[in-house]
Structure 1
């Protein structure tokens, strides 16, 4: 596992547009004051370094490490204090991409068994032009998909480091930053290495939720609490429909009559859920599966257990 962004051989990695040599430059632009390069860098982060539905490219794990470095840089957000929130949202997406469930060991064995072939495939891919790269995804070897599994595994291995970097932001003076940190913790702390930490993390998250005034931030925190196995039942009767809905999403409440009734009510009127957050988009966890299906799937079927 790479311990510092300076140790990364970016020329041997690729993202959605090809070789990843440009990623450090794009992310460095997030610390500058040039509007054009800033926009390009922000777009690169979200649209190029992550695959569809938040999955990983080979460059995703070292990019996440670089984002963690930026998160603690005093220049980040000097003119826009919401920028660190966006970096925390990105690290939440990394937690989702790294959530291999019970498949990490099997994936690692397959990757290690084909290590030499994967290096050769990647070298050929980096040397190919755009058309050649497109053809390689359909070469019939399955090595491209295994390279992507290797990328997810790299994110998995990086999670403990990212979790350590995110935790201090749960104590931020900025409410929205606390909520974004909670979302990141909710995905990153699903990692097996965090099992011993989870009770203490849940206590912190639940305490932060109780102290939160914004329905949007509260809903974000409740999804994180539920994802880590915490008890969100006290919020099932909250006056805000969005808060109730996000509390009801907790996997541990599958089969709970009150939670299922909340989700059924939202399924009948999904607009009420969206409108409950005013002019803000729903919590960031709902931008990725399985939570995004709340707005389109009739509960309680399809709950993640």
Structure 2
């Protein structure tokens, strides 16, 4: 920006009515962006909710999403404006959707770009033929009905627009990173934390981002900000960071030790020699039992659910510590309820049975005791937790019964 520009310069030059979001023409977006500059925190909060509901509706992005990005980025960089950390968090959401889909490995942007390119090049008739074949290949009538519903609801043109909009939003945020990297040195801890979180999702920029993150790691005194920077560096870096990050396993603050272990688990999962040690395992097992407190500004990864993130990280240790990792996640699952169970159940099933496949878990009688204990733990979750479709889908991916009563019967537990 020049000295005469403002974060909203050029806002009225965008043809917003010609762009769309979740509810149609995006002519309301300029008003929302203006309201985000308000000194009134209540107005800003309501406006953020509106934007999350329109240009990021349930994780979807739209043609209007990328158009809003430059204005949000300029707001985040303008130190005269309030609420800048929230703007950075929104930018991260617009770029990648819900971050759980990219953890614990980070954004595989090369695969994302290739998949998008292949999908956009597909002939709609070929897509329809593949869907028809998929429906016909269903194992039974119930599965066939489920697949037929998906085929009926699938709109190829709408999906093409969604694929283009998602990648378009990601690249729009990426173009703003040169101006946002400097926020790692911002006076506000919440802004530094949000900047580290945002930068973690752009591996194509790692060569420029990692040096800044490492400087922040060397200088930061706020534990939660330091923890976020460690996780971000672990998501972007490689084996060259192992020795540098390992030193933080002995930090005085539990959240910093957790972050170092999380970063090293990811680096070890990528094949870095010596990254996964008994010290890494010990920190993750301890955090799985009792996640470390992360005071303001907090750790933003996995929406602040450190136990869920830890479970996903323990999956990366399965090659070296399979039994210890499964025991830790199963123990945490037994003490959880509601949506907090979802990442734990997914991680535990992955540790127990590998990736979902056609064979599933198999007969209960053929399972070893650790796997039986996991199934009994799942079947013992309270009825309120079993009301969530999310849990049905998770256990169903491993071909386990998708109701509490049926899973209890499978495990030989008494009816309730």
* TM-score, normalization by structure 2: 0.55
Displacement of 1:263: 4.6
Relative to 1, partners in 2 of residues 1:227 and 1:69: Cα closer, same or farther, differing over 3 Å?
same
Once residues 261 and 62 of structure 2 are traced to their aligned partners in structure 1, the CA distance between those partners, rounded to angstroms, is: 33
Displacement of 1:7: 4.6
Secondary structure of the structure 2 residue equivalent to 1:182: helix
Alignment of 1:1-305 (within 5 A): 5-33=11-39, 37-52=43-58, 54-73=59-78, 76-77=81-82, 83-97=83-97, 100-108=109-117, 110-111=119-120, 139-188=153-202, 190-191=203-204, 194=205, 198-229=206-237, 231=241, 232-250=245-263, 251-254=266-269, 256=274, 258=276, 261-263=279-281, 265-267=283-285, 269-270=287-288, 272-275=290-293, 277=294, 279-280=295-296, 282-287=298-303, 293-297=308-312, 298-299=314-315, 300-301=317-318
Displacement of 1:282: 4.6
* Counterpart contact for 1:286–1:292, Cα < 8 Å: no
Displacement of 1:204: 1.8
**1:125-151: per-residue Cα shift (whole Å, max 9, x none)?**
xxxxxxxxxxxx955432222221011
The corresponding residue for 2:144 is none
Structure having greater relative contact order (Cα 8 Å, sep ≥ 6): 1
The corresponding residue for 1:122 is none
* Counterpart contact for 1:223–1:247, Cα < 8 Å: yes
Once residues 184 and 74 of structure 1 are traced to their aligned partners in structure 2, the CA distance between those partners, rounded to angstroms, is: 18
**1:178-200: per-residue Cα shift (whole Å, max 9, x none)?**
22212222223x23xx3xxx344
* Counterpart contact for 2:181–2:212, Cα < 8 Å: no
Secondary structure of the structure 1 residue equivalent to 2:62: coil
Unaligned runs of 5+ in 1: 78-82, 116-136
* Counterpart contact for 2:69–2:173, Cα < 8 Å: no
The corresponding residue for 1:125 is none
Once residues 105 and 62 of structure 1 are traced to their aligned partners in structure 2, the CA distance between those partners, rounded to angstroms, is: 23
Displacement of 1:114: 7.6
Displacement of 1:70: 2.0
Once residues 109 and 151 of structure 1 are traced to their aligned partners in structure 2, the CA distance between those partners, rounded to angstroms, is: 15
Once residues 288 and 12 of structure 1 are traced to their aligned partners in structure 2, the CA distance between those partners, rounded to angstroms, is: 36
Once residues 259 and 9 of structure 1 are traced to their aligned partners in structure 2, the CA distance between those partners, rounded to angstroms, is: 55
* Counterpart contact for 1:236–1:244, Cα < 8 Å: yes
* Counterpart contact for 2:190–2:297, Cα < 8 Å: no
Relative to 1, partners in 2 of residues 1:39 and 1:239: Cα closer, same or farther, differing over 3 Å?
closer
* Counterpart contact for 1:223–1:246, Cα < 8 Å: yes
The corresponding residue for 1:124 is none
Relative to 1, partners in 2 of residues 1:259 and 1:13: Cα closer, same or farther, differing over 3 Å?
farther
* Counterpart contact for 1:166–1:184, Cα < 8 Å: no
* TM-score, normalization by structure 1: 0.72
Displacement of 1:205: 0.9
Unaligned runs of 5+ in 2: 1-8, 98-106, 125-150, 319-346, 351-416
Once residues 259 and 48 of structure 1 are traced to their aligned partners in structure 2, the CA distance between those partners, rounded to angstroms, is: 45
Once residues 272 and 167 of structure 1 are traced to their aligned partners in structure 2, the CA distance between those partners, rounded to angstroms, is: 33
* Counterpart contact for 1:223–1:249, Cα < 8 Å: yes
Displacement of 1:161: 1.7
* Counterpart contact for 1:32–1:38, Cα < 8 Å: yes
Relative to 1, partners in 2 of residues 1:4 and 1:105: Cα closer, same or farther, differing over 3 Å?
farther
* Counterpart contact for 1:237–1:244, Cα < 8 Å: yes
* Counterpart contact for 2:23–2:54, Cα < 8 Å: yes
Once residues 5 and 241 of structure 1 are traced to their aligned partners in structure 2, the CA distance between those partners, rounded to angstroms, is: 45
How many residues are paired up?
266
